[in-house]
Structure formats: structure tokens, C-alpha cells
Amino acid sequence: EIQLQESGPGLVKPSQSLSLTCSVTGYTITSGYDWSWIRKFPGNKMEWMGYINCSDSTNYNPSLKSRISITRDTSKNQFFLQLNSVTTEDTATYYCASYGYGGYYWGQGVMVTVSS
């Protein structure tokens, strides 16, 4: 069974960078699937942010393209999110998720607040 677990700071100051880690167990991230970041804003709106796939290719939401980077460390079976120049509008719960044949499987999520 694939399990995903997010980690990272819960509070980030405006204009700084948000950095999160997703640790994957039960599956090797180079074996297949797309590995995504998704966020849920207060009020329940969801936004798909981007992915890195098993071949190390990335695809980002155009709404974030200039601020987002998704990378990975295959030795640790982890992938990462970096979001630059954050504002209070980036306050959300951030999820990492795997995409296979027909749907997404999600981590527990980490709440990140952007505030000075």
C-alpha cells in the first residue's frame, strides 16, 4: 500500500518561500505514477499545483508557473514543493498525492499559514 506523508513548516512569512517534503513508502517513486501537489484553501476550493513523474518530468499549473518548483530525491524516495514569493492567499492545506490509472491517493495534508 502506498503511503504519503507531508512535512514542513506550518508558518511562512509573506514574500518568503514555502518548502514542503512528501515522503513516500510502499512504492518507489521512479517505478511509475505521477507525484503531485494539491492544495485546499479555506472555504474548500481545491487547486492542483503540479507534478513530477517517474521520469523526472514536471508539469505545473500555469497559474503558479513562475513561482513553483517540484523536485525529488530518489535516494530518500521523497519529492518536494517549493513555492516562492508567498502571500496570504497561499494559506492552505497542502497535500501530496499519487496519480495512477484512475484517481489520486492523498497524504494526510499539512496546513500552512502565510502571516507576518
Partner 1 sequence: DIQMTQSPSSISVSLGDRFTITCRASQDIGNYLSWYQQKPEKSPKLMIYRATNLEDGVPSRFSGSRSGSDYSLTINSLESEDTGIYFCLQHKQYPRTFGGGTKLELK
Q: Is 92 in the site for partner 1 (CB under 8 A)?
A: no
Q: What is the per-residue binding string for partner 1 in 29-68, x denoting contact by CB under 8 A?
A: -------x-x-----xxxxx----------x-xxx-----
Q: Is 7 in the site for partner 1 (CB under 8 A)?
A: no
Euclidean distance between CA atoms 30 and 56, whole angstroms: 8
Give the other-Cβ count within 10 Å of 79's Cβ. 24
Q: Is 105 in the site for partner 1 (CB under 8 A)?
A: yes
Q: Is 95 in the site for partner 1 (CB under 8 A)?
A: yes
Task: Report the sign of the C-alpha dihedral through residues 103, 92, 87, 24, in that order.
Answer: negative
3-class secondary structure per residue, 74-91: CCCCEEEEEECCCCHHHC
Output 44 or 75, the one with its CB closest to partner 1.
44
Q: Is 69 in the site for partner 1 (CB under 8 A)?
A: no
Binding site for partner 1 (CB under 8 A): 36, 38, 44-48, 59, 61-63, 95, 99, 101-109
